[in-house]
Structure 1
């Protein structure tokens, strides 16, 4: 599913996902089914332990990922997704070139894209930039809170005028829309972390909306 991320600054993604809470994996699964180009920026597959050998920005080991995910699916602690079939799918998709994962240890900035060059949002990761049409924010830290395991420190929300409350949680409607075009948020990003099962379903619903919008635009 995920190769290494030596980012091509000219590459345009259909969906940029920040954080690795269950919503991220549900959304990525649906987007993958519809052949969308996806970039996930997060500490790892459902839990960071899966990728602990990988250096930030380096190639992710692929040889034993299926064994790790099968082991992960049997665990009950932490953020493990206890759905063997889901873990199986992640393992199968791991080598798919349509997915990319960057295991981020530093801060990530989100910037407005440039409409004239056909992308809406840019993630700046260290000195690299990746462009996308849609943005989903899952785990992130809030002022005064202990960061959840799946968070990625994210800067630039105020510049983009993404609405937040006094604790830094992103405000969304019942469809997880932020009010900023094609920017969605869920999980700890909105102050409402969910169980793996519920989170995956939320991510699926978000991606279905994104894909539906994308396909309708293609046919106009």
Structure 2
């Protein structure tokens, strides 16, 4: 492709196994240090520094300093959604990691995807919102209905505050494990944050896994009833 965006450069940045592991670790939405990312990738700090420099130069990461520490994060939700879509493509073509363990089922059940809910629970929430008429979806565009606005506010979401931000309220994100849409955007992030405030969920340290409490399971099932 001689003209247009240079997708080969982005693909090369993501395609390196060490860089892919570091990007995947940042999908939790939590900023990490170079040392932590080196451990995630299984490489030396010196090698990690070189990889991180390339990712910064390519616009995939954001770096900020706090005191003596430097923290790396994904440069935006579009990067996270691209990575999630690539995970879905890889899984759909059978390109799965050979390493398995007890975390795999948990990741498929509920995980954080750049601070919004993903996995089977995330897809179930999206299905329930759509079935209740709270969301409309057409041509890849998601809108919040009036009923959805009422539901969100009753759930404890400050929509006015969200709409003052620059991020879109609702965005579709393809779930790599279920191969269906879950809800991203500022509303998706706010819903997960609200579940944390209510004590419905907790994040597993050092992982993207989200654990639902007994109270959270009951509350989630009542708020987002299962659909056929």
| TM-score, length-scaled by structure 1 | 0.27
Larger Rg: 2
Higher RCO (C-alpha 8 Å, min separation 6): 1
Bigger share in helix: 2
State TM-score, norm by structure 2: 0.26
